[in-house]
Chains A and B, each alone.
Chain A
Amino acid sequence: MKGLLAPLFCGTLFGFGLAMSGMTDVTKVIGFLDLFGNWDPSLAFVMGGGLLVTVPVFQLGIGRMKAPLFDSEFHLPGRSDLDGKLICGAALFGIGWGMVGLCPGPAIASLAYLNVEVVYFLIAMFSGMFLADFIEHMFKPDIVATETTD
């Protein structure tokens, strides 16, 4: 039960933070991404504020714990190799983010705004995810489960 209430609470706090910070406002996001034009730096404080908490917790807290509070082990990605998929994927993600101004978190949180455009975007986004998943499995049929760690 605690293992379900914790992510519900964390999701709520995360969504609250996204809406408060302006990350669900595409005009603001495009202004932030407009580095080479009329740059609005305010959203830099979102990642800054986030890292202000996660860096000390992940660097100092996690290593001292054998296991998380409500699970038997930490589920960490543990990869360190740089591959073409990571680089191409990140580059494509940036292009899509720059086109519309929505990344996955704010896109899903924006469902709260009961706006049909968000639904169109999400249908397209999930289609893109399934397409990438399908293509990866086609070239590597031995992958049993997808690595959905991040």
Chain B
Amino acid sequence: MELHPFLAALIGGLCIGIAASLMMLTIGRVTGITGISFNTVSAPIQNTWSVMFVVGLVGGAALYHFVSGSPVPGLDLPLPLLIAGGITVGFGTKLGRGCTSGHGICGLAFFSNRSIVATSIFMLSAAITVFVTHHLGLS
């Protein structure tokens, strides 16, 4: 059975919200993937909770495609774009103290003014980037 994309996105979003809520209720941590992933590569021994979350993150995505049978999405982009995009995402999220999860799902729920500002800015700059690369013939 194929779910409507809106419904799949809503149920997926609810899973994400439940996961972030349980993280706070059980171990008292903000589910910010920027911090969690940086902890995992920079200081895994001191942050075993981060390592466990990352292991789950990869396993959870595999589990979804295994149980649903839905095809795995590809990433067919030129290498220079992947590298430039990756560096920009990593540098920006570290400097800005968070990404779509930390600022978007958790920070907004705390009504944090830092997260409201950050989320508005990265949504807008992402939309401008897609407009420039896809509609001004620069891609």
* Chain A 30-49 interface mask (CB, 8 Å, partner B; 1/0): 10011111000111111111
Chain A CB within 10 A, most for which of B89, B105, B127: B89
Task: Tell me, rounded to whole Å, the shortest Cβ–Cβ distance linking A123 to chain B.
Answer: 7
Residues of A close to B39: CB separation below 8 A:
148
Within 8 A of A (CB), among B14-60: 14-39, 41-42, 48-50, 52-60
Instruction: State which of B9, B41, B95, B106 has its C-beta within 8 Å of the C-beta of A85.
Output: B95
Residues of B close to A9: CB separation below 8 A:
22, 56
Given contacts A22-B8, A124-B83, is CB(A96)–CB(B92) below 8 Å?
A: yes
* Chain B 86-129 interface mask (CB, 8 Å, partner A; 1/0): 11111111111111111111111111111101110111111111
How large, as a class, is the contact surface on chain B?
Answer: 35 or more
How far apart are the CA atoms of A22 and B36 in the complex, in Å? 21
Residues of B close to A61: CB separation below 8 A:
21, 25
Residues of A within 8 A of B (CB): 2-28, 30, 33-37, 41-55, 57-59, 61-62, 65, 67-71, 73-77, 79-82, 85-100, 102-105, 107-113, 115, 117-118, 120-133, 136, 146-150
